[in-house]
Structure formats: structure tokens, C-alpha cells
Amino acid sequence: MTRDDLQEKILTILVQDFEFQQPGLDDNLRDDHGFDSIDAIELLGKIERILGVPLTREEKEKAMEIRTINDILDYLEAIQQGRAQ
């Protein structure tokens, strides 16, 4: 999937499932949208379905460093590239 494809899917999830209001790609997820660690775990489950592959424990722990939507997209691209190799 291209970054644009991933962005569309992630934004849809954040708006529909997490009820984000007008999300910006560089918004701080916690400060601007109240997105907490429980939400992060919930989102990782949805990301596994988007990618069609289970995430490893290490990959999930790496996700805890995410702060913005652009960080999510970087994270997804890195995982895709890693799996492709």
C-alpha cells in the first residue's frame, strides 16, 4: 500500500472508531485528541487487519513511541518495507 492509501485508512479509523475531530497529520495524538495507551493497543489490532499480518511483540513495543499520525504512517511504511525484504 502507498502512503496515501495508508493515510486514508488510518484517518478513517481515527475519525470513525476513535471519534477524532478534524485530525491533522502532525497533531499530538495524546494532547490534541486524548489518545492514550489503551487506544494505542486498540489501534494496533486494527493495523494488523490493514496490513493482513500479525505484529511481533517488538513491533508493538516500538509503536509506543508514536506521537503523531505521520509517525503512524512512518511506522506502517517501515513495517511494510521490513516484511518485503
Partner 1 sequence: MKRRVVITACSAITPIGYGKKNIVDSLQQGRSGVKPLRDDGLLTGHIHSRVFGTVDYPIAYEFTRSQRKTMGPVAYYACQVARDVLAESGLSPDFISSGRLGVAFGSTHGSPTVQREIYKTFFQNLETEFSSIGAVDYLRSMVHTTAVNITRMFGITGRVIASSTACTTSSQAIGFGYEMVKYGMQDAMLCGGADEYDTTTVAVFDNLLACSVGYNDRPECTPRPFDKKRDGLVVGEGGGAVLLEEYEAARKRGATILAEVIGFACNNNGGDLILPNLQGITATLRLALTDAGINAEEVDYICAHATATKMGDIIESQAIEAVYGTGPHVTGLKSYTGHTMGTCGVIELIMTLYMMADGFLAPTLNLEEVDPRCGMVRHTPGVIAAKTKIASVQNFAFGGVNTCLLVKNGREAL
Site residues (CB under 8 A) for partner 1? Answer: 18-19, 34, 38-39, 41-42, 44-45, 48-49, 53-54
C-alpha cell at 61: 513495543
* Beta carbon nearer to partner 1, 4 or 65: 65
Query: If you count them, how many residues does the chain have?
Result: 85
Q: What is the DSSP letter of 38?
A: H
In angstroms, give the least distance from the CB of 31 to partner 1.
Answer: 13
Q: Which residues of 30-40 are buried (b: 16+ CB within 10 A; e: fewer)?
A: eeebebeeebb
In angstroms, give the least distance from the CB of 34 to partner 1.
Answer: 5
In angstroms, give the least distance from the CB of 19 to partner 1.
Answer: 4
